[in-house]
Amino acid sequence: MFVVFRKKSVIICLILVLAVILSCVMLSYASAEVSSVPKIGKTVVIDAGHGGVDGGVSGVNTGVKESEINLAIAKSLRHFLVRNGYDVVMTRENNDGLYGLSTKNKKLRDMEARRDIISDAQPDLVVSVHQNFYPLSSVRGAQVFYSADSEESKAIAESVQGTLNSALEGDRVAKTGDYYILNCTEYPSVLVECGFLSNPEEEKLLVTAVYQEKVAYTLFSAIHSLLGGQSEHIHS
């Protein structure tokens, strides 16, 4: 009986060792694959809007926080950019706000921290990811905003809007927006409202990982056509 038990223990140990080795090999392969992607010398700051005590708007039916969807799309966008040679800086990578717990004016400190991150990164482009809300529930579609003071941002916003319209079946036009994130630095910046959480049908899409990835890939495609050109091989 003891011998049988010992044999089982040895087999289990061997299986665990093999599992660990296989995991290490897969991680090494993934790391090597990413590191082998040639850098294109472009930096993109991805700003996942809201976070911490500021959850943004909420889904009309699910109650999902805008900040959570923003972060999911931002992380997916980062994946596509990094896989294709871009340097990416995130303003936030979790659900926390960019401030200390004892900070009095948390919103102000949060926005200032985002500004500082952008300034330090000296990016070729800033993309701020958000979700929209409107009292009329029939309103839907992705919307891109830019600073009225930047012709470069306007051209980028119009191009991104066109790509979003084509991929997500929209018909909107890029608009000027007086948002802090668009005006806090001199770097070209766009703010993308990926959809309306006030529209029940669009909300159903936005809460799914599949649609979030679709939006992220569409944004990547728009960015890549502007900054990286049309490569023969795009890594997904």
* pLDDT given at position 74: 98
Enter the DSSP assignment of 65. B
Please give the Cα distance from 74 to 69 (Å, whole number): 8
CATH code for residues 39-227? 3.40.630.40
* pLDDT given at position 234: 75
3-class SS at 46? Answer: strand
Please give the Cα distance from 186 to 201 (Å, whole number): 37
Q: Find all residues with CB under 8 Å of 13, minimum gap 6, and list them.
A: none
Please give the Cα distance from 176 to 149 (Å, whole number): 9
What are the start-end ranges of the H helices in the chain? 2-35, 66-83, 106-121, 151-168, 180-183, 200-206, 209-227
Please give the Cα distance from 160 to 28 (Å, whole number): 35
The tally of CA atoms less than 13 A away on the side-chain side of residue 216 is 25
> Which residue is it, tokens 């999911």?
72
Strand 189-196 and strand 143-146: pairing?
Answer: antiparallel
* pLDDT given at position 1: 53
- The model's pTM is 0.84
For 80-118, give one letter per residue: b (16+ CB within 10 A) or e. Answer: bbeebbbbbbbbbeeeebbbeeeeeebeeebbebbbebb
Please give the Cα distance from 71 to 1 (Å, whole number): 55
Enter the DSSP assignment of 125. E
* pLDDT given at position 33: 46
Contact call for residues 31 and 171 (beta carbons, < 8 A): no
Please give the Cα distance from 47 to 63 (Å, whole number): 22
Domain-by-domain residue ranges, the chain? 1-36, 39-227
Distance of CA 82 to the CA centre of its chain: 12
Q: Which residues of the chain fall short of a pLDDT of 70?
A: 1-36, 229-233
